[in-house]
Amino acid sequence: MNKGSKDNKIVYFPQLKERLFEKGIDLLQSSHLDQAVHLFEQAYEMEPSDGEVGSALVLALYENKQYGRAKEICKELLLEGQGDYFKVVELYLMILIQLNEHKEVVNTISALFDEKEVPFEKEEHFGKLLSFSKRVLEGKEAPAPEQTPGPIEGDKVLEGKDLQEQTFILADLVNRNVRPYLPELLAVLRDGEAHPFIQTMIVNVLREHGFNEEVQVKKFGKDLTCTPASLEEVFQTAFYFDVVKRIEDLIAQRNPTLLEQVTETFTRHSFLLYPIEPGWKAEQMALAYLIYVLELYGENPAAMGLEGEIQDHEGVLKSIETFIHDLERVTSPVL
């Protein structure tokens, strides 16, 4: 057997990279940074040319304060022209500042301005970064990270931004003063037409900041008033654990792959719904998600001996199935 042959290639399961990416996003937004980095590293190793995965990995590394590795991946993305160029450049500059590599910040931004490559909407922000790093090099400014001007400027941080940009901005807000942006953030939560992924991120930002005032959240036709500081984390609620446990009880040891797929689907949807719970019983939700995934792959639920349970909850299961399809139509951000 020729173990060293270049013809020996690893064959990955179909859609494995996509599944790693989606699960990594969920973990990143729920602040499980070590786990998110681990999954993004796997996905990036599978396809280094995927700019979305590379950018997500850099963001996770940055949030996890692994600045050296983040810089390394950023340079690879810039060299290969992968991902959104200026978003990668912006992350690269913030990483350099965290590493106190202000000479490289000045050289990079000055080159961009000299070549007239800085977009109009980025000029003010890049100019502030350039001025900050010059002051540090001249000894007029302390290089402490907390004094670093971040990528968020002005009272309106989400307005006019696409889903990807909003995701990056909100991830950054976890570590910054959120008060100047509260009117806009609270307005998004009250907007029943706002993207549910962004609404969940806003609730998480407020929870992380210990926001102890009531807020109104409207999504998926439901209306809830809650206090973010009092909320459990997205995947730490009693309802979430109850449904996952019941999914495990239904599938048991019969099909580990099916168990993973059903749990992942429910987990992804739970993030979109948070902090709203759908209102059905946990056993009904577990059964509905199992049936949905089985039918997705052309499998008959009756083959698992579920006829009795399906008959007992038939009307409710149809309502939940419609709701699941609505959740599946919601797009996720491309990072």
Do 186 and 254 belong to one domain?
A: no
Q: At 145, is the pLDDT very low, low, confident or very high (cuts 50, 70, 90)?
A: very low
State the Cα–Cα distance between residues 329 and 198, nearest whole angstrom.
Answer: 15
Do 273 and 290 belong to one domain?
A: yes
Q: What is the pLDDT of residues 205-228, one digit of tens each?
A: 999 888 889 999 999 888 999 999
Do 241 and 320 belong to one domain?
A: yes
Q: Is residue 80 part of a domain?
A: no
- The tokens of 225 are what? 């008033």
Among the candidates 194, 214, 231, a domain finishes at 231
Do 206 and 271 belong to one domain?
A: no
| Residue 91 confidence (pLDDT) above 60 | yes
Entry pTM: 0.56
Instruction: Tell me which range, 160-169, 171-180, 254-263, 316-325, is most confidently predicted by mean pLDDT.
Output: 316-325
Among the candidates 188, 212, 231, a domain finishes at 231
Q: Is residue 34 part of a domain?
A: no
Q: At 143, is the pLDDT very low, low, confident or very high (cuts 50, 70, 90)?
A: low
Q: Is residue 324 part of a domain?
A: yes
Q: What is the pLDDT of residues 165-186, one digit of tens each?
A: 788 888 878 777 777 788 899 9
Among the candidates 231, 262, 290, a domain finishes at 231
State the Cα–Cα distance between residues 139 and 141, nearest whole angstrom.
Answer: 6
Enclosing domain of residue 180: 162-231
Residues 6+ apart with CB under 8 A from 62: 70, 91, 94, 95, 98
- The tokens of 200 are what? 């969940």
Q: Is residue 2 part of a domain?
A: no
Residues 6+ apart with CB under 8 A from 174: 31, 63, 204, 205, 208, 209
Q: How many other C-beta atoms can be found within 10 angstroms of the C-beta atom of residue 160? A: 9
Percent of all residues in the chain with a pLDDT value above 90, rounded to a whole number: 26
Q: Is residue 88 part of a domain?
A: no
Do 245 and 310 belong to one domain?
A: yes
Q: Is residue 102 part of a domain?
A: no
State the Cα–Cα distance between residues 140 and 132, nearest whole angstrom.
Answer: 9
> Does the bond joining 275 to the residue before it have cis omega, within 30 degrees of 0?
yes
Q: Which H, E and C letters describe the chain, residue by residue? A: CCCCCCCCCCCCCCCHHHHHHHHHHHHHHCCCHHHHHHHHHHHHHHCCCCHHHHHHHHHHHHHCCCHHHHHHHHHHHHHHCCCCHHHHHHHHHHHHHHCCCHHHHHHHHHHHHHCCCCCHHHHHHHHHHHHHHHHHHCCCCCCCHHHCCCCCCCCCCCCCCCHHHHHHHHHHHCCCCCHHHHHHHHHHHHCCCCCHHHHHHHHHHHHHCCCCCCEEEEECCEEEEECHHHCCCHHHCHHHHHHHHHHHHHHCCCCHHHHHHHHHHHHHHHHHHCCCCCCCCHHHHHHHHHHHHHHHCCCCHHHHCCHHHHHHCHHHHHHHHHHHHHHHCCCCCCC
Q: How many other C-beta atoms can be found within 10 angstroms of the C-beta atom of residue 72? A: 13
pLDDT value of residue 225? 93
Q: Is residue 122 part of a domain?
A: no
In degrees to the nearest 10, what's the CA dihedral of 301, 306, 310, 316? -80
Average pLDDT, the chain: 82
Instruction: Tell me which range, 16-30, 136-150, 232-246, is most confidently predicted by mean pLDDT.
Output: 232-246
Beta bridge partners of 222: 219
User: 4, 8, 26: which is closest to 269 by C-alpha?
Assistant: 26
Do 318 and 271 belong to one domain?
A: yes
pLDDT value of residue 169? 82
| Residue 250 confidence (pLDDT) above 60 | yes
pLDDT value of residue 214? 92
Do 207 and 279 belong to one domain?
A: no
| Amino acid, res. 197 | F
Q: At 311, is the pLDDT very low, low, confident or very high (cuts 50, 70, 90)?
A: confident
Number of folded domains in the chain? 2
Altogether, the residues listed in the chain come to a count of 335
